[in-house]
Structure 1
């Protein structure tokens, strides 16, 4: 009897099918939990959707309401951009400096790297609760100040100091970017530093003419992700402020908190209006990202990037 010949699959095709099967859970997760909700949100933005009933079609009414009638809009734009403008460059610089400090072969340097990275392991909500206990009106820091006969600080209890306090609480997680900076430093050819030493370049000149230019690709990456993350930040605002995320005098009221309060807080949920605000935030992030990519001529990409 002749043996029946089965279908032969080329090794390369078999490898591609295997890779696709492994990627399938992630692809399905993105479709179900990201893309489909995004499409639904875009549809809801044009209706008076309350979470259960679609309601009447209002067209661009929700967008007009946000820009022309909502009193919170001014606070939301001011606080969101103020936080992004201060926090993103500050986090970039601090993370870069920390990476430079620990980018040595000193004995015990791994301990310092671990300590700097440790805050990134703590969940955002947990760290926000920690900072709230420290900076509360009757918190640990104010108790220490009063014990030494000093006046208590305001921190989150006054509008003028709320944003500065909040920015301080979020910059302690620069250890995450530190790891990326270190990886970027490792990709810089050592021959460049050797040539600079032969030319008599000191540490500052090597930093300015070699390290920084050769790590601009990582600077660009951290800049883009930092802008996106700063404008989308949510959970730590809710926990740290203790006022439904608004802060004293709406000093911490940002886009994500407004969307959450509009859609889920109170007895009159306005999911359609919240979806419209979400689309506004999406468009803002897309515009800022496009501008950043358009002005990336200063970025140096190594061969193979």
Structure 2
């Protein structure tokens, strides 16, 4: 004797159908615009391809050439390391300092919060064009240094100062980290500060013993996002230091992604550029895993008992 489906079963199937219908745009977008290109890039990294003719299979030749016979690759990798090693900690420290400052009762606090976050809303191209004027030999930065007796360098013309110029520009976007850290500070229970004050802890001790441990999850998040962003820096180099008239400065600041772009769309070495992208992926993955491995030592979660 046949039994009719229960209403609950029909309702679950209907809910499942609507679920798959609503997630299908994301799934299709992931397959078409992310997973598919990644698989294609992996294949092309093992070929000699100029994007016009049929790719020729070369195996791991592109990777061997990059690692053993391409000084430009190692130079770009070193510039990327140098930029990330300074810009990421600088952004974390600056964001933490600004958040701690704005968390206090100061005048025009809401206005200051808006002004600090506002630079992150400015398009990157516009920011680079502004800093081309700020970092010019007779620009505002060198004029300010001249007021204290320092002769400012040719930031965008001297290869040894090109990377520091990019680091100075990176501090401009510390507002996004500041907002997250400030929100985390607002969530710290006031009872902890009151207990620390009863125990005789001053403002500095309260910051190191109460505030900072509660901010470590946000600091860790900013660290990971900062590392990924620093290793993928592109527009700042490509716009701020055009390689036509300032080739020496460009060579002194070229990072991995501009090098990849130049090989792909300047020299039409698409297979070689794909190999660069996968090596960059492995580098970013390695540093991310190292950062995750260190979390047990310094990241504190309220619900975690150590």
Deviation string 1:121-146 (CA, Å, 9 cap, x unpaired) is 00111101110122234656568889
Contact 2:241 2:250 in 1 (8 A): no
Match of 1:277 in 2: 276
Counterpart CA distance in 2 for 1:164 and 1:219 is 23
Shift of 1:84: 0.6
Match of 1:264 in 2: 265
Structure 1: gaps spanning 5 or more residues = none
Report SS of the residue matched to 1:72.
helix
Tell me if 1:132 matches 2:139.
no
Counterpart CA distance in 1 for 2:201 and 2:144 is 48
Match of 1:252 in 2: 253
Contact 1:246 1:253 in 2 (8 A): no
Of stretches 201-210 and 190-199 in structure 1, the one that deviates more from structure 2 is 190-199
Aligned length: 299
Match of 1:196 in 2: 196
Counterpart CA distance in 1 for 2:199 and 2:10 is 55
Shift of 1:67: 1.3
Moved over 3 A (4+): 4-24, 137-147, 149-153, 244-247
Contact 1:241 1:247 in 2 (8 A): no
Counterpart CA distance in 1 for 2:35 and 2:236 is 25
Q: 1:220 to 1:151 in 2, by over 3 A?
A: closer
Counterpart CA distance in 2 for 1:107 and 1:262 is 52
Shift of 1:14: 5.9
Counterpart CA distance in 2 for 1:204 and 1:150 is 33
Counterpart CA distance in 2 for 1:13 and 1:247 is 64
Counterpart CA distance in 1 for 2:97 and 2:144 is 30
Shift of 1:228: 1.0
Q: CA RMSD in A?
A: 2.9
What are the within-5 Å matches in structure 2 for residues 17-56 of structure 1? 18=18, 21-56=21-56
Contact 1:246 1:257 in 2 (8 A): no
What are the within-5 Å matches in structure 2 for residues 1-305 of structure 1? 18=18, 21-137=21-137, 139=139, 153-243=153-243, 248=249, 250-265=251-266, 268-297=267-296, 298-303=298-303
Counterpart CA distance in 2 for 1:199 and 1:101 is 24
Of stretches 247-256 and 232-241 in structure 1, the one that deviates more from structure 2 is 247-256
Contact 1:116 1:175 in 2 (8 A): yes
